[in-house]
Amino acid sequence: MSRATSYHRPGTVEQALALLAVEGNVALAGGTLLNADDDPTPVGMVDLQGLGMTAISVADDRIELGAMVTLQDLRQDGSVPPVVSDAARAELPSTLRTLATVGGTVAVGDPDSVLLAALLVHNAEIHVAGPDGTGGAPLANALSANGPCEGRLITAVSLSIGGTTAHEAAGRTPSDTPIVSATARRTGGLTTVALTGVASTPVLVDPADPTSGLEPTGDFRGSTDYRLHLTSVLTDRALASLGGAS
């Protein structure tokens, strides 16, 4: 049964923010999590479809993805960096990719999201609108703040483009959500590595010491020690795949 007690479809960001200020109202993007959630708490749905935010635009060395760009759009737009496009494909089956959005993925901050890891190595910044105005922040900071979207709307995510990338993952099967994955990018002599499956959200780590500070929670898919072992092995493999590229 639907959790929705009311449905709103604002036409502007300002109208959406006014609706989200009402207790019990939540933003509805693709609905893949919100509508599938078995949490019985009733909510008022503030549908973001009327706000646009579906553009993908490239300027200088950055690409901007509107918050309502779907994961399928990321697959199909040739200007999206390859590791981001591949991660969008790995994240969800095609039936859900046509619904799930970039903004929803960032707001959820799933620890196993290979798409978030791909965004992190591309120096993603999120753009938000809130009662206090608009602003931006590095995705890494927003994820570690755990809930930066409270009362705010993510309007876009921008990425730096270019560089060489590599992705390594270990799962129960090749098509399963990875237990741990490592995504690496090298550009201008700078190497960045992002991991999934080792913290409460995907994280950027020191490529030379990737397990430093990590204490992954073990579960039926992998113990703490196994996840730390995978972290070292997969990071080494991803860095080896980058080779001497700069």
Per CB under 6 A, which of residues 160..179 are in contact with ligand FAD?
Answer: 177
- Among the listed ranges 10-18, 21-29, 75-83, 235-243, the one in contact with ligand FAD (CB under 6 A) is 21-29
Q: Is 31 in the site for ligand FAD (CB under 6 A)?
A: yes
Element (H, E) at 7: strand 4-8
Element (H, E) at 242: helix 224-242
Among 4, 13, 18, 108, interactor with ligand FAD by CB under 6 A: 108
Nearest CB to ligand FAD, comparing residues 177 and 235:
177
Tell me which residue of 156, 159, 158, 181 sits closest to 168, measured CA to CA: 181
Among 112, 139, 210, 216, interactor with ligand FAD by CB under 6 A: 112
Among 73, 86, 91, 168, interactor with ligand FAD by CB under 6 A: 91
CA–CA gap between residue 186 and residue 245 (Å, rounded): 7
Interface pattern 39-68 for ligand FAD (x via CB under 6 A): ---------x------------------x-
CA–CA gap between residue 213 and residue 224 (Å, rounded): 13
- Among the listed ranges 98-106, 117-125, 182-190, 231-239, the one in contact with ligand FAD (CB under 6 A) is 98-106
Per CB under 6 A, which of residues 193..222 are in contact with ligand FAD?
Answer: none
Per DSSP, what are the bridge partners of residue 192?
185
Residue listed under structure tokens 């991991």: 195
| Least distance from ligand FAD to the Cβ atom of residue 206, Å | 24
| Least distance from ligand FAD to the Cβ atom of residue 215, Å | 21
Tell me which residue of 173, 185, 203 sits closest to 111, measured CA to CA: 203
Q: Is 110 in the site for ligand FAD (CB under 6 A)?
A: yes
CA–CA gap between residue 159 and residue 139 (Å, rounded): 10
Nearest CB to ligand FAD, comparing residues 176 and 215:
176
Q: What does the angle CA 22 – CA 24 – CA 30 come to, to the nearest 5 degrees? A: 100
Q: Is 28 in the site for ligand FAD (CB under 6 A)?
A: yes
CA distances for 27 relative to 36, 38, 230, angstroms: 15, 17, 36
Among 66, 103, 197, 216, interactor with ligand FAD by CB under 6 A: 103
Instruction: Kindly state the DSSP code that residue 49 receives in the 8-state scheme.
Output: G
Neighbours of 86 (CB within 10 A): 19
Binding interface with ligand FAD (CB under 6 A): 26-34, 36, 48, 67, 91-92, 96, 99-101, 103-105, 107-108, 110, 112-113, 149, 153-154, 177
